[in-house]
Amino acid sequence: MTTSPTERNGWSGDGALTDMAASVPKAARKTSRLAGPASTAEQWPEFEAVAQPQLQGAAVRRLAGRRSNNGVGSSNSSSSANIGNNPSKRRWPRVVLIVAAALVVVALLLVAFAACSISRGESSFEGLMANAVIETGANAVSYDEGKTVYYNGHTYVLNEDMVSVLVIGIDRKESAAEDKPVQADAVIVVALDKKTGQATAISIPRDSMVEIGRYADGGYAGVETAQLCLSYGYGDGYETSCEYTTTAVSRTLYNMPINYYFTMDQAGIGPMNDAIGGVTLTPLQTIPKTQIVEGQETTLLGTDAYNYLRWRDKTVLTSSLDRQDRQIQYVKAFAKKTLGAAKSDPGLALSLYNQVSSYSITNMGMDEFSYLASVVMGGNITGLDVISLPGEMVQGEKYAEFYLDKTAVYETILDVYYTQVD
Amino acid sequence: MTSEQPPTTSNPDPKVPVVRKYRRTIAALTVLLVVLLLSASGGIGWLIWEHNQREKAAQELAETPIPTVEQPVASTPDTPEVALPDNPIDFASIQQTSPDVYAWIYIPGTPINYPVVQHPNDDFFYIDHNPERNYAFEGSIFTEMANSLDFSDPITVIYGHNMHDETMFSTLHYFEDADFFAENDEMIIYTPGHILTYRIISAYQYDNRHILNSYDFSNPEVLADYQEYVRNPDSLLVNTRDVPLTSTDKIVQLSTCMTVQNWNRYLVNGVLIDDHLTN
């Protein structure tokens, strides 16, 4: 088994460590730039990839400022330093000008170089979704690497404004109690259109039989077709596990880039739920040992929220699907309430983020989260569309196995990530 | 203005030579300027060198002749043995300068016409070295040690960079076009003593899993499943040709990157349909 090569420009070699999706950026915790209420806060940070050239320009301006200060300062005092010699007095401003001009030229060259290396395909917020439209020679064949898809007599074009966040629900307490690796119990991709703020959640049943990476003795051991929830267990229970599950989900969704993951331990459900004052809904099922009765509208608080989302009757084959239904219902109600509350309290999203941070693992920094939250808020969206990938639940040898309806998944991808143009 | 006014508060004591302070500042700034100029010219120089290297590679590619086979003279009653044609690739002379060259790949309809190398103990060497073993940004067309040198494996994976100037394997992307795929269905691999002809059966976007490390192709079930996938892949970017496969079929997969989504791959896949012996 070969070891993994290092990445290089635009072509990462295949191997053990790079078998996880290279699109998943590493954790980057940044400090919040949110100063206060929306009325006095500055514009939300924009995540464009071209920060570097601006920095260069700014650095140059500061330098030039220093230079000109010296130039201004010098004209007064140089006259006293000169022992009445005219040419040497004139020399200073000229030298200053030449050096300043040279610095500007150098800065321009550096900017050009930086722009070149950026355009070489560094993954940016925008670049991650983009597909290239390749310019080829006159006699060459043109191709656009999947930007356009023809299906059932229609043409679909990739929506390059999409950003995807994978939300994973885990339960460390349960896995410790049952002495087995932590599994990804809830797997929901939140696909967000950066331009419109429209968010669609794609819920993937935990028992979906998909190709997951197998890892043994710290190394890649191949792929196997198994329940999606098991992909998490092959990792360290933290970042590596999140990456493995993100890779498996991305591959299930026809290699759509999943930019971020946000994994939350179920222990955080209660605090998160209570932070918005509880969630009101009409339960789909009666949950034993709680006040939750099917059909009786109630406001979930604290451990009730936890139980509504976690409990399932393991003797029933479709219990994980029933639970998924409840999770989807809850997520929709939660989203609706949060979006409504966030209109009058823009800091709410960020305070929620901070509330659950001790229960969560993510590679999304506070800045990115704020940006995405602002996009959703700015789009005047009042609710979250949730799609559950359809398929068939089958009893396997020991465990339930869910077989996804491939056509439905394909069409879901076209629906969410592509725009029909004819 | 030859003003003889005393200086401002910046120099209270006229006797201290102010000129030294300014000389120091200018000196420091000059040093900074020199450093910046050097690094900028270094950067520009590297870009230019790299550009020249790629131009050279493209030039070499353009000048490489397309392999042609001269049919041997038909056998006469005096020479009952069928004479073999000469192999269009002169491996002996190529290997003088490029010892790791063991095959040649030519895909009609594309500019792909390259030697294939495999490093004896470093699978990543030819990612950024040319067949003469010099550093080269465009790398080589290469296979990894897991694949045998005679293409007898059920699945052989050949890698090449997706350059932005249509060299190396970038033109594999031509097969994204349905018409081009329909009109071009052949790839030819030359090895010492053989001309291997492959029928291109599919071209599709795939993820970046390491194929040979992901599957145990010695397991017939695994191989059959994988072959079925190559015939009928599940991808948003697919062209296929209906060609049935059996367990003894040899498949070659040509792998290159996508331009922006470089965690994905583009695979063009052929099945061996003819093995023509040569000298």
Q: Encoding tokens for residue A31?
A: 């400090």
Q: Are residues A115 and A165 in the same domain?
A: no
| Strand B264-277, strand B186-191: pairing | unpaired
> Which residues of B are less than 8 Å from A143 in CB distance?
173-174, 176-177
Closest in B5, B234, B263 to A406, CB measured: B234
Whose tokens are 């073993």? That residue is B133
- Residue B161: pLDDT over 60: yes
Q: Does A95 touch chain B (CB under 8 A)?
A: yes
pLDDT in tens, B169-223: 999 999 999 999 999 999 999 999 999 999 999 999 999 999 999 999 999 999 9
CB A418 within 8 A of CB A131: no
CATH assignment of the domain containing A224: 3.40.630.190
Q: Would you give the DSSP letter of residue B67?
A: P
Q: Please name the member of A130, A141, A413 whose beta carbon is closest to the beta carbon of B174.
A: A141
Residues A310 and A182 in one domain: yes
A200 half-sphere exposure, CB direction, 13 A CA radius = 16
- The predicted structure's pLDDT at residue B71: 62
In three state form, how does the secondary structure of B231-253 look?
HCCCCCCEEECCCCCCCCCCEEE
A82 Cβ contact list (under 8 Å, min separation 6): A88, A89, B19
Assess whether A76 and A225 both reside in one domain: no
* B216 vs A207: CA distance, rounded Å: 25
State the average pLDDT over residues B155-180: 93
| B26 interface with A at CB cutoff 8 Å | yes
Instruction: Give the integer Cα–Cα distance in Å for B201 and B232.
Output: 9
∠ at Cα B171 (A132, A7), nearest 5°? 65
CA B171 to chain centre: 10
* Per-residue pLDDT, A1: 39
The distance of Cα B216 from the centroid of its chain, to the nearest Å, equals: 26
A185 and A262 part of one domain: yes
Q: How far is A113 from chain B (nearest CA, A)?
A: 7
Distance CA A27, CA A361 (A): 9
Please give the structure tokens belonging to residue A389. Answer: 């990938």
Say if CB A168 and CB A245 are below 8 A apart: yes
Residue type for A111, please?
V
Please indicate, yes or no, whether residues A235 and A175 belong to a single structural domain of this protein: yes
Same domain, A62 and A172: no
Which stretch of DSSP H or E encloses residue A351? helix A348-356
Strand duo A199-203 + A360-362: pairing: unpaired
Complex ipTM more than 0.85, yes or no:
no
What pLDDT shows up at residue A21?
Answer: 38
Contact criterion met (CB below 8 Å) for B176 and B162: no
Angle at alpha carbon of residue B234, lines to B230 and B236, rounded to 5°: 120
CB proximity under 8 Å: B 241-260 to A: 255-260
Specify whether the CB–CB gap between A111 and A53 falls below 8 A: yes
B124 touches chain A (CB under 8 A): yes
Which alpha helices (H) appear in B16-155, and where do they start and end?
18-63, 91-97
Q: What is the DSSP letter of A45?
A: P
- Dihedral, CA of residue A195, residue A196, residue A197 and residue A199, to nearest 10: -110
Confidence (pLDDT) at A71: 38
* Contacting A residues, span 100-119, partner chain B, CB-CB under 8 Å: 102-103, 106-107, 109-110, 113, 116
Q: Are A176 and A113 in the same domain?
A: no
With an 8 Å Cβ cutoff, are A254 and B235 in contact?
Answer: yes
Q: φ and ψ at B207, to 5 degrees?
A: -90, -175
A258 and A379 share one domain: yes
Distance of residue A341 Cα from the nearest chain B Cα, in angstroms? 37
Minimal C-alpha gap between A122 and chain B (Å): 9
Domain count, chain A: 2
Bridge partners (DSSP) listed for residue A187? A168
Q: Does the CA dihedral A323-A326-A331-A332 come out positive or negative?
A: positive
**Residues B169 and A11 sit within 8 Å (Cβ to Cβ):** no
Q: Is the same domain home to A291 and A364?
A: yes
A152 in any annotated domain: no
| Cβ within 8 Å, pair B8-A76 | yes
Q: Is A69 a domain residue?
A: yes
Are residues A292 and A180 part of one domain? yes
In a domain, A151, yes or no: no
Claim to verify: residue A192 and residue A291 sit in the same structural domain: yes
| CA–CA separation, B156 and B255 (whole Å) | 10
pLDDT at A369: 83
Is A92 an 8 Å CB contact of chain B? yes
The tokens describing A62, both together, are: 């500061």
pLDDT in tens, B7-17: 455 556 665 56
Q: Could you tell me which residues come within 8 angstroms of residue B273 by beta carbon, excluding any fewer than 6 positions away?
A: B197, B198, B199
Chain CA centroid to CA A185, Å: 19
Dist. CA B278–CA B69, nearest whole Å:
9
Distance (Å, whole) CA A3 – CA B63? 36
Distance from CA of A221 to the nearest CA of B (A): 7
Best B204, B209, B219 member to test A by mutation, with max A CBs in 10 Å, is B209
Residue A102 lies in a domain: yes
Residue A105 lies in domain: 51-119
Q: Six-digit token pair at A8?
A: 């290089």
Mind listing the pLDDT tens digit for each residue in B90-132? 999 999 999 999 999 999 999 999 999 999 999 999 999 999 9
The answer to whether A299 and A279 have CB atoms below 8 angstroms apart is: yes
Calpha distance B229→A370 (Å, rounded):
42
A322 and A173, same domain (yes or no)? yes
Chain B environment of A128 (Cβ under 8 Å): 261
Q: Is residue A363 part of a domain?
A: yes
**Cβ neighbour number for residue B63 with a 10 Å cutoff:** 7
Residue A421 to chain B, least CA–CA distance (Å)? 17
Instruction: Say if A234 falls within a structural domain.
Output: yes
Dihedral angle over CA of A192, A194, A198, A200, nearest 10:
-10
pLDDT in the model for residue A225: 95
Q: What is the distance, to the nearest Å, from the Cα of residue A296 to the centroid of all Cα atoms in its chain?
A: 36
pLDDT 10s per residue in chain A (422 long)?
Answer: 343 333 333 344 444 334 433 444 444 433 333 333 333 333 343 333 333 334 344 444 444 444 444 433 334 444 444 444 455 555 567 877 887 888 888 888 877 765 654 444 333 345 556 655 565 565 578 888 889 999 999 999 999 999 999 999 999 988 889 899 999 999 999 999 988 888 999 999 999 999 999 999 879 999 999 999 999 999 999 999 999 999 999 999 999 999 899 999 988 988 889 988 999 999 999 999 998 999 999 999 988 998 999 898 989 988 988 998 999 899 889 888 888 888 788 778 778 888 888 999 999 888 888 788 888 877 777 778 899 999 999 999 989 999 999 999 999 999 999 999 98
Q: Which residues of A touch B3 (CB under 8 A)?
A: 79
Tokens describing residue B94 = 């190529």
**CA atoms A324, A328, A333, A335: torsion sign:** positive
Chosen domain end from A119, A137, A171? A119
Domain membership flag for residue A139: no
Q: Which residue of A has its CA nearest to B35?
A: A106
Residue B14 vs residue B147, higher pLDDT: B147
Q: Tell me, yes or no, whether A171 lies in a domain.
A: yes
